[in-house]
Amino acid sequence: MTLHEQVTDILASAVEAQECAGISVLVRRCGEEMLYTQAGMSDIASGRLIHRDSIFRLYSQSKPITAAAVMLLAERGQYAAKVFDEATQEILAGGGVPTVEFCNRLGQQPLSFQPGTHWRYSTCADILGAVVEVVSGMRFGEFLRKEFFEPLDMVDTGFYVPESKRNRLVTAYKRTENGLVPWTSTHLAVGVYDREPAFESGGAGLVSTLEDYSHFADMLLAGGTYEGRRILSPATVACMTQPQLKDAVRRDMWDSLDGYSYGHLMRICAEPGRIAGLACAGEYGWDGWLGTYFANFPG
């Protein structure tokens, strides 16, 4: 039995056990495709199969892209200094710098602890999306499109799904005693994709395809380049993919992340011997609430 057949059987077994309605896997090595396979449905009621161009809700797998956007601004010397300078100028002029109302509300809440002393999965990626808007002078989604999605050929990635592509949006399901049933609610103020949202969530808002996201992952593995185009500097990618947490702070991470540290909105493998799944020192990536997952193995 070939590797392709083995992986396909595993995916088919997961679908048969109703662990999911449909699933697809893409493996690339040194810029070349090693394996692609799929099983199951993108929509059970219509009998629509999962395909390579099926559009998935990324949820938290949006975070690494947000991290890259912030690092690009920092790389250009536009990050916090520019925000503070503009705020100072506005204050001296008798006004102030407006920010996203969502982030204003978050900012009214007290911090759970002094920064750097503990780790907690938070709304920081949404705050960073607002910072990108203020610094760049454009909507977060427009900045991502201009700086990442277009140069990376990520043609199906964004904060909503145009009508012409809506038949490719995978239906989300939840498991019940009566089997899989469609999930049509929202989570983290995200879940309506038929129009451009007012709140473009840096932590959970993007949709994408397996193919599109592989371009972003390839760019990171290549030290910031894609198809000869420079997206990020090698130093920026190295910074993004280095573990950042002290050992004492790592204890706050979930049990499922034992053996990992955390970098710029991504897990970073620090102790592969403590990880039950596939891992090596320096492996990094993240996943999404509805089941999306990516991992890069440098070296």
Alpha-carbon dihedral of residues 172, 176, 181, 183, nearest 10 degrees? -40
Query: What is the CA 156 to chain-centroid distance, rounded?
Result: 14
pLDDT at 90: 56
Question: Nearest Cα to 247, choosing from 118, 127, 140?
Answer: 118
Residue type, 296: N
| pLDDT at position 60 | 96
Scanning the structure block, which residue is given the tokens 């991992």?
295
Q: With a cut of 90, say whether residue 53 has pLDDT above it.
A: yes
* pLDDT category of residue 123 using cuts at 50, 70 and 90: confident
Percent over 90 (pLDDT), the chain: 67
Answer whether 61's CB lies under 8 Å from 213's CB.
yes
pLDDT digits (tens, 9 = 90+) for 236-246: 999 999 999 98
pLDDT tens sequence across 170-213: 999 999 998 999 998 888 878 889 988 888 889 999 999 999 99
Largest Cα–Cα separation, the chain: 73
**Average per-residue pLDDT for the chain:** 89
**DSSP class of 94:** T
pLDDT score of 94 more than 70: no
